[in-house]
Structure 1
Amino acid sequence: MKLINQFTIWYLGISVIVFLIGGILIFYKLESEIDFEQGRELERQLDRYARKMESMDDPSILSKDRLEIRELPLNQALVPFQLGDTLAWHEPLEQVERQVKAGRSYLINGKHYYMSTYNIMIESDDITETVVQTMVAIFLLLLIFIAVTSRLVSKKILQPFHSSLTKIKEFTFKENQPLVFEPSRIEEFEKLHEFLNRMSARMLGDYKIVKEFSENLSHEIQTPIAVISGKLELLLNSPITDQQAKWIAASHQSTQKMSKVVHSLATLAKLENQEFEGNQQVNLSALLNKSIADYEELVAIKQISLHQLIEPDIKIEMHPNMAEMLVDNLLSNAIKHNEKPGYITIEATPSVLKFRNKGEKPKRDVSEYLDRFKKGNPNSESIGLGLSIVQQICRIHGFTLEYQFIEEEHQVTIQLQN
């Protein structure tokens, strides 16, 4: 959910609560004000009638439908102003309605009179209906206003955020430049920009140190490995015992494996740091056929039958070196983890690349083999980095990699088009 939508939902939720509380307060305030003003008005009417009666010989002529005049004993105490309600006939509505009634007594021309009058009462239902209609109308207007203005306002207020997000997405180690953001008048964005600038500068420094270390290590370790391999080959060609030959062969095999590990780790580091640039149109069909031809002798030695279901002239957009690494690692993995005799089936279409080979049942979840140095047989010649390199190449190009073991078959499927 977008930030502006979350803000809007929270604001509307708070507005609903405020409107409910405000509506209840307005209802009780209106009700008390209306009752008070009605009482004041009825009291003023009674006072006017009392003043008129002072100049009249016969007060009874003032009696009307809504005015009641009754003479009380002179020695009776004055009745203070009283306000209540009663049921009376309402002419316009032609029905009995609940009405507010007011009364008090006056001493007029030496006589004691009690007068009362009444008027239509504004009921709670009428007040509630008015308040609800008003609040709903205001809320709808607020909703329309927010819907119209939130997008316009958010574009202006959140523009520095979107600009910063774009710069973060475009940040790469290849440019070797820390993040630099446009100045913002919003304090929170300025703090965020300052933090991101410091963090990117520190990341570049750490990356440079690690890169130099890995490059130096990879370079420096290759020389002693080459020397050791050369000396071991010389020893193998010298007069030695069978036991010594076995030890020397094992040592030579270990040095070759060490060389492969160093080379593969260096390749993975380059892939993760996105040091391969310049994607091109690569002919996947031709690349697969070339790789199959390169491994033809090894496939024959291991008694593996190879089946090809490759559509002609398949073009994909990727770096040529990475495309070659992808195909070589997939084919090499299928050969190493096969049986004797066994088979490999390669299927390739513009949307899917699939390798299937016969092999032993995995001893663990096959998804773990995509991690570094994870392999089914610890004693195998594999160094456990082939599928990790394949997975990293797929991530860089947006391909989807799936590894399954179904019906005695290892199946590696790559969706070339998402």
Structure 2
Amino acid sequence: MKLITKFVLLYLVVTIIVLGIGGFVSYHIIKGELDNELKWRFLDRVERVTYLLEQGKNFESPVQDNDDTNLKIVALPNRVEPNVEIRDTLVWHDRLQQMEHNLKLVAHRNVDGTSYRITTYGALVESDDITEAVIQILLWILGLQVIGAVGVGFIVSNRLFKPFRKTLERIKNFRLQDKNPITAEETSVAEFDDLNKFVEQMTSKAITDYKNLKEFAENASHELQTPLSIIKGKLELLTETDLSPEQYQLVEDSQRSVKKLSRLSESLALLTKIENHEFTGTEEVNLSELIKDSIQSFDEFITLNGLTVEADVEDDVFVHMHPVLADILWTNLFQNAIKHNVEEGNIDISLNSQRLRISNTGNPLSSTPEELFRRFKKDNVNSKSIGLGLAIIKRIADQYHYTISYTCEDGWHTVTINLQN
């Protein structure tokens, strides 16, 4: 839900609450004013009736006056002190066929030694009419408030929030690889100016940190390769000399460690480039041809390991990826299936427009499949793997919003990538 929509809804909720309270107060104020007006009319009537009694006028009880206000005059056997009492009462209304609230006035007057009780009641406006009038007024006000709120919201959304939306759009399009910070633009709103300045500072810092980290990773990877190559060459020369079996074994172990360190350096550099989105271009890559060519390229290695490969590859399956990342994705999947297989094992490859699945026989897992997608996570700590293959595969899949899963059942390890993002 957009901010302006929440603001309008909150405004309308507050308006309804305020109008409800206002309606309640308005009803009682209007009713009070009407009752006061009616009270003064009743008092005037009492004074007029008292005057007529003093003039010798004889009233029959009850008396209906000409303004449709009920009047009742009763002579009392005992003398009472003059007083006036006003209260609410319920009176049956013939037209509405229900009890209605009326104002009732009871006054005692002494005329020529006789006490009289003068009673009158009535209502200027019926309570239901007051309620209906107040509700109609509130509905009109609410309707105008809704129109006003929507109108103000539209104006605010299109004009006042325009700089904010512009900044948000620039943030969405910001890419570290472009190495261009988001420059602050002045607006007529102080808060938006502060936001733009903050965004400029943060993007500038992010670009600087990115450059430093990228340079460090590239330099470290490059600088490591030189001494590693020297060590590798020296070890190869050393193997050509007269060495005892123990010395030769030590040299072989050193060579394996150097190769592993070299692969580790290259894999980390590759993973850093992927995470920094340095492979940005996309093309239509024929994944079917890529897999078929790869199987042929690894044919000798597959034969050497005594593996059987079965492939059900649908023709002309295209994916929108950077060609280098597509090659790395498949190569890591295929090499992983070969490395972690068993003797005389099997590899099953399936590809269609919906998914890519590769299965290989292997030893049971001692950890959960999900953990193997983490960096340096290996199921067997004694394995020659550096533990980055599946991490690289997972990172590439995430970059293109492909879902990836790893299952292990009945001696088969299966990696499935859903190509429909």
TM-score normalized with structure 1 length: 0.88
Which AA in structure 2 matches 1:185?
Answer: S
Unaligned runs of 5+ in 1: none
| Secondary structure, counterpart of 2:329 in structure 1 | helix
| Secondary structure, counterpart of 1:307 in structure 2 | strand
Aligned-residue sequence identity (percent) comes to: 37
* Pair 1:67 & 2:43 matched: no
**1:324 match:** 327
Which AA in structure 2 matches 1:117?
Answer: T
**2:188 match:** 185
CA contact (8 A) 2:397 2:404 kept: yes
| Secondary structure, counterpart of 2:181 in structure 1 | coil
2:308 to 285, 297, 305: 305
Which AA in structure 2 matches 1:339?
Answer: V
Tell me, in whole angstroms, the C-alpha distance in 2 between the residues paired with 1:269 and 1:96.
84
Deviation at 1:417, TM superposition (A): 1.7
Deviation at 1:302, TM superposition (A): 0.9
Tell me, in whole angstroms, the C-alpha distance in 1 between the residues paired with 2:199 and 2:91.
77
Deviations along 1:232-289, one digit per CA (max 9) or x if unpaired, are 0111121111111110011011111111111111111111111123211211111111
Tell me, in whole angstroms, the C-alpha distance in 2 between the residues paired with 1:39 and 1:161.
61
Change (3 A) 1:403 1:211: same
**1:43 match:** 43
Deviations along 1:51-93, one digit per CA (max 9) or x if unpaired, are 6777x664649984133445679x9676233223556675656
Change (3 A) 1:28 1:292: same
Unaligned runs of 5+ in 2: 65-69
* Pair 1:262 & 2:265 matched: yes
Deviations along 1:382-408, one digit per CA (max 9) or x if unpaired, are 111111111111122222222222332
**1:370 match:** 373
Change (3 A) 1:308 1:46: same
Which AA in structure 1 matches 2:35?
Answer: D
Tell me, in whole angstroms, the C-alpha distance in 1 between the residues paired with 2:318 and 2:267.
26
State the number of aligned residues.
416
**1:208 match:** 211
1:164 to 167, 172, 180: 167
Change (3 A) 1:5 1:364: farther
Deviation at 1:110, TM superposition (A): 10
Tell me, in whole angstroms, the C-alpha distance in 2 between the residues paired with 1:341 and 1:61.
125
Deviation at 1:118, TM superposition (A): 2.3
Tell me, in whole angstroms, the C-alpha distance in 1 between the residues paired with 2:29 and 2:88.
19
CA contact (8 A) 1:100 1:121 kept: no
Farther-moved stretch of structure 1 (355-364 vs 64-73): 64-73
| Secondary structure, counterpart of 2:178 in structure 1 | coil
Change (3 A) 1:211 1:37: same
CA contact (8 A) 2:305 2:344 kept: yes
* Pair 1:277 & 2:301 matched: no
Alignment of 1:247-258 (within 5 A): 247-258=250-261
TM-score normalized with structure 2 length: 0.87
Deviations along 1:327-361, one digit per CA (max 9) or x if unpaired, are 11111111111111111111111221111111111
Which AA in structure 1 matches 2:200?
Answer: N
- RMSD value over aligned CA atoms? 3.2
Tell me, in whole angstroms, the C-alpha distance in 1 between the residues paired with 2:97 and 2:373.
88
| Secondary structure, counterpart of 1:281 in structure 2 | strand
CA contact (8 A) 1:98 1:121 kept: no
| Secondary structure, counterpart of 1:202 in structure 2 | helix
